[in-house]
Amino acid sequence: MSEWKELADYFRGRSMWMLHYCTGCGAIELPPTMTSRWDMERFGVVPMATPRQADILLITGYLSIKSLKRVVYTYEQMSAPKWVLGFGSCTINGGIYWDSYSVIKRLDKYIPVDLYIAGCMPRPEAILDSFVKLRELIKKGEAKGYEKYVKNFEWYKANQDKVFRRTTPVLKKPEEVTKSA
């Protein structure tokens, strides 16, 4: 059975279909990655149109609360062996939106990220490198974000709900933290 699993992992590592969530500015790095200059298809990575078909969810940059909602829904629509790539510093710590009231700061509090690509912007080489790294992780059986999500579902849901379903103001005592004239 484990041989079968290894074989399956081998194939999964060589055929990663990607859904790119392109709200951030990082989306502009993807066309060169796909086309002649860098050609990600040689790694078996193909852009897909819907979450049903995809293996990788590539988050290209910052996510506002509204778009995070869509990303979570999209992630949950994907089928089981699935991986999330956080792209750019925005997904790591908010990047230039580090103090914004509407942009989330750390993606892996809400969905399990298997691999971060640091940089603002990461170049296509970095994206290709991440595919190779992800392939190695899959082969070693370390990229198990989807299992983590199922195991810690309550924790993820609580984090998501804290952002999505607010029933009280966030600032408990606004007069203390606001700087009124």
Partner 1 sequence: MLKHVEKLRGMGLEANPLKDWEFEVSVPKERVAEVLSYLKSTGFKAFIHLACVDWIDEGEFELVYNLESYEDALQAVVKTRIPRNNPTMESMISIWGLCQVYEREVHEFFGIEFVGNPNLKPFFLENWMDIPPLRKDFNTLVYSEELFEFKEDETHGIKAPKRIEHK
Partner 2 sequence: MNSNLIWLVFTPLIGSAIAAILYNYKFLDRLITFSTFAITLFLVFGTHVGQTYSMNLNFMGRMIPLSWNVTHLSIFMLYISIVFGTILTFYSLMDRSRMKGFLLLLILAANNWIFTTNDMVGFFFAWELMGWASIVSVLGGRKERKSRHAALYYALMSIGGSYSMFFGLFTLWRLTGSFSISSNLAYLSSIVGVHPWWVLGIVSLFFVTFMIKAGIFPFHTWVPMAYAYAPDTFTPFLSAVMSKYGIYGMLLFLPISLMEKGMPTVFGLPWVNYIFVWIGVITAVLGTVLAFFQDDVKKLFAYSSLSNLGYIVAAISLFTSVGVTAGIYHAFNHLLFKGALFITLAAVISRSGTSKLSEMGGLWKKMPVTFFTFFIGIASAAGIPPFNGFGSKWLIYQSMIKQHLLFATILLFLASTGAFLYLFKAFHSIFLGQLSHNYDNVKEVPVIGQIVEYLLMFAMIFFGIQPGYILRPVGLIVKSVGLNPLAVMGNGYVTGMFSNVDMPLIGWSLAISFVFGFILFFISAKHKYVSQEDNYTAGQIPQDWGLTPETYQFSWKFYEPMEKLFAPFYRIKIDGFFRGLGDWTRITGSAVKQVFVGNAQIYTLFAVVGLIILVIAGWVA
Partner 3 sequence: MMFFLKLIQSIGVGALSISVGLLFMGIGRKITARIHRRYGPPAIQNFIDVFKLFSKNSISHGFAYDLGIIAGTSALLAAVVFLPVGQINLFPANSSLIMILYLMTMAYLGMAMGVSSSGNPNATIGISRALTMMMGYKVPFAAVIFSVYIFARTGSLTNIIAAQSGGLLNWNMIRLPFGFIAAEIALQGMLGEKPFDMAIAPAEIASGPMVEMSGKYLGFGMLQHAVGIFLETGIMVNLFMGGAPNVWIFVIKQFELFFIALLVNAILPRFRVEEGVSFMWKIPLLLGVIQALIVVL
Q: Which spans of this chain sit near partner 2 (rule: CB under 8 A)?
A: 50-52, 69-71, 73-74, 77, 80
For residue 42, the partner it binds in partner 1, partner 2, partner 3, none, with Cβ less than 5 to 8 A by kind, is: partner 3
Query: How far apart (Å, rounded) are the C-alpha atoms in residues 69 and 72?
Result: 5
C-beta of 140: minimal distance to partner 1 in Å?
Answer: 20
Which pair of tokens denotes residue 72? Answer: 């979570």
Nearest to 71 by CA among 37, 107, 35: 107
Binding site for partner 3 (CB under 8 A): 7-8, 11-12, 14-15, 17, 35-36, 39, 41-44, 48-50, 52-53, 55, 77-81
Query: How far apart (Å, rounded) are the C-alpha atoms in residues 66 and 78?
Result: 19
Which residues, numbered 97-126, are part of the site for partner 1 (CB under 8 A)?
Answer: 98-106, 109
Query: How far apart (Å, rounded) are the C-alpha atoms in residues 130 and 136?
Result: 10
Query: How far apart (Å, rounded) are the C-alpha atoms in residues 118 and 125?
Result: 12
Our CB check for partner 2 shows the closer of 79 and 93 to be 79
Which residues, numbered 37-66, are part of the site for partner 1 (CB under 8 A)?
Answer: 65-66
Q: Based on the shown chain and the rule CB under 8 A, indicate whether residue 179 belongs to the binding site for partner 1.
A: yes
Backbone angles phi, psi at 20, to 5 degrees: -105, 125
Strand partners, 64: 103
Binding site for partner 1 (CB under 8 A): 65-66, 89, 92-94, 98-106, 109, 162-171, 174, 177-181
